[in-house]
Amino acid sequence: MVRRGVGLRFNAERRYAEDYELWLRLHLSGKRLGRIPTPLSVSYKRPFGDSGLSANLLAMARNQLHVYYRARADRLLGFGEWLLASAWSVARSGRRFAKYLAFRAIENRRPR
């Protein structure tokens, strides 16, 4: 949830990583963030990469890197921060892809 007075909203032009961009920009602009410990809803989502926007892991990774690039271009991140965030993002995306491949391999071995 974001208060109306904050002034930042989801980027309507971005299809992937729009939520991540919003939270990053809120944090980098000095807004106070918090976590609500009580679940506000319950839903079931299959593992990432299975369906929906999450199924395109490459587009997700590319757009997350673009979020860091835009934050750097807007001078919200210094060069070192941008480099570290980008390296972390690539490593995280590699880990997701490896988990996705492992999950698929396990699913394909199960008898039908």
Cβ 25 vs Cβ 76: under 8 Å? yes
CA-based nearest residue to 89, from 110, 109, 72, 106: 72
Q: What global pTM score does this model have?
A: 0.72
Reading the chain (112 residues) residue by residue, the pLDDT tens digits are 677 777 777 777 777 888 888 888 888 988 888 888 888 888 776 655 556 666 788 888 999 999 999 999 999 999 999 999 999 999 999 998 898 888 888 878 877 6
Cβ 48 vs Cβ 98: under 8 Å? no
Extract the tokens encoding 108.
């394909």
Cβ 61 vs Cβ 17: under 8 Å? no
